[in-house]
Chain A
Amino acid sequence: MNLVNTFFNVDVLWRSLPQLLQGLWRTVLLGGLSIVLGLVGGLALALVRLYAPRALRWIAIAYIDVFRALPVLVWLVIVYYAFPFIGIRLSPFASACLALTTVSSAYTAEIYRAGIEAIPRGQFEAAQSIGLNAFDVMRDVVLPQAVRIVIPPLTNNSINVMKDTALASVVALPDLLKQATQAQALAANPTPLIGAALLYLILLLPLVRLVARFEKRYSAREAR
């Protein structure tokens, strides 16, 4: 039994590569879309959570708490396998995108909230004192400063969403992991799985490095 031939079989890897790349593309598409929708949804949730009338605020808090507590995999399985019973039939891609977006929104909402709450009260007061309405106060003064603060944690969350896309293979979405397991079955050799792992690393390691750089720069600024 040759370890290299089993796990790093170049021939098998080469033959499965087109399939893996197809899966990678779908993973990037799913992850990218879920990240963007999660960022938008999270901002809306955070603003509701902070500034809406009390009833809406409670709904936002309940949403955020529930989706931070619920395992993504459980929620995804419910969306894909349970929703059809109430007439909602979504494709694997739509199911995965919905599950990832709803959960990601809950996390990004809390991140945005922390960023907004970190802006000194004087900034709000100065903006209000020149007569800006609530929308302009947010757009021109608060959010530009808050977003700058939360870029590192948002990037971190985006990495998590990208990793969670692998769960979509459970609902038969031909993402990177699913393609790799299929190629493995076909070739009777686990090399495609190693190939998939490498592709995940190529995709995400730069982002992880980026967050580390953010954090270093941030803590340096704090120390000053």
Chain B
Amino acid sequence: MAPAPSSDPIIRMRGVGKRYGTFEALRSVDLEVAAGEVVVLLGPSGSGKSTLIRCINHLEEYDSGDVFVGGVRVERGRNLLKVRQQTGMVFQAFNLFPNLSVLDNVALGPVRVKKLAWEDSRRRAQALLDRVGIGAQAAKFPTQLSGGQQQRVGIARALAMEPRILLFDEPTSALDPEMVGEVLDVIKGLAHSGVTLVLVTHEMGFARQVADRIVFMEEGEIREVSTPDVFFTSTRNERARAFLDAVLNH
């Protein structure tokens, strides 16, 4: 049995729809995520996983329904900055700021948003970089790092805002295979540490190991929500089984 989300979910999506022209990326999606939970979104490409995760911090504007983060409706306007301050995001393409040093990539957010002094923010940024294992690279610029190192900076940058929710949009898909492990290790270290994780990934072993719940999507709809054990061994959902066959037996 999947653990029931607690009565006061930190993320609540109700009837969320999103279309691009005639293409329906999301069709009336309902999802609740409890604080501290680790939720992994799986599904074929184009199934709406990334769109869903990007609606949570309003990088994508949904057309219908509601998204609440910490009880605040996610929408254009004053509240949006508050929502974004408690939701960090890690991108497939890293999206580090090439004009800033690695240290300042991490330190910038707290300086501008939490009005920390640069000196204090850099000290905390250094500690975060140490924590993800790249403290020695702090003075370099992003382009001087390997992909795996860049993504760990991306995680440190998100953590610097001390978010309650971390969103990962295919964090290892742009990495060379030998660098995937170092990034997944960092994410594993964050799971069940209090912060809520919502991940889109194609790393099935990782998903099975770290997720509290698997959300399977197809054609813009959530088709199944279950525990990893149920999902990977005994799902009754035909589409989910077809998906698993395709990704696991190649």
Q: Taking beta carbons and an 8 Å cutoff, which residues of A are in contact with B? A: 120, 122-123, 125-133, 136, 140-141, 144-145, 148
B89-107 vs A, Cβ < 8 Å mask (1 yes, 0 no)? 1010101111110000000
Rounded to whole Å, the gap between the CB of B167 and the closest CB of chain A is 8
CA distance A120 to B91 in the complex (A): 13
Whether B85 and A122, one on each chain, are in contact in the complex, defined by CB atoms closer than 8 angstroms, is: no
26 A-B contacts (beta carbon < 8 Å): A122-B91, A122-B93, A122-B95, A125-B59, A125-B89, A128-B59, A128-B84, A129-B57, A129-B59, A129-B88, A130-B84, A130-B113, A130-B158, A130-B160, A131-B84, A131-B85, A131-B113, A131-B161, A133-B112, A140-B97, A140-B100, A140-B112, A141-B99, A144-B99, A145-B97, A145-B98
Which residue in B59, B84, B97, B108 is a CB contact (below 8 Å) of A123?
B97
Report yes or no: A126 in contact with B99, Cβ–Cβ below 8 A. no
- Taken residue by residue from 127 to 168, chain B's Cβ proximity to chain A (1 for < 8 Å, 0 otherwise) reads as 000000000000000000000000000000110110000000
Residues B109 and A126 in contact, CB atoms below 8 Å apart: no
What separation, in Å, do the CA atoms of A144 and B98 have in the docked complex?
10
Whether B172 is near chain A, meaning CB under 8 Å from some CB there, is no
Main secondary structure of the interface of A (DSSP, over half): helix
**List of B residues within 8 angstroms of A127 by Cβ:** 97
B204 within 8 A of A: no
The smallest beta-carbon distance between B165 and chain A, in angstroms, is 11
Interface pair A123/B109, CB less than 8 Å apart: no
| Nearest A residue (CB) for B109 | A130
Known: A131-B113, A132-B113. A126 touches B84 (CB 8 A): no
B247 lies within 8 A of chain A by Cβ: no
Taking CB atoms and an 8 Å cut-off, the chain B residues in 36-82 that contact chain A are 57, 59, 81
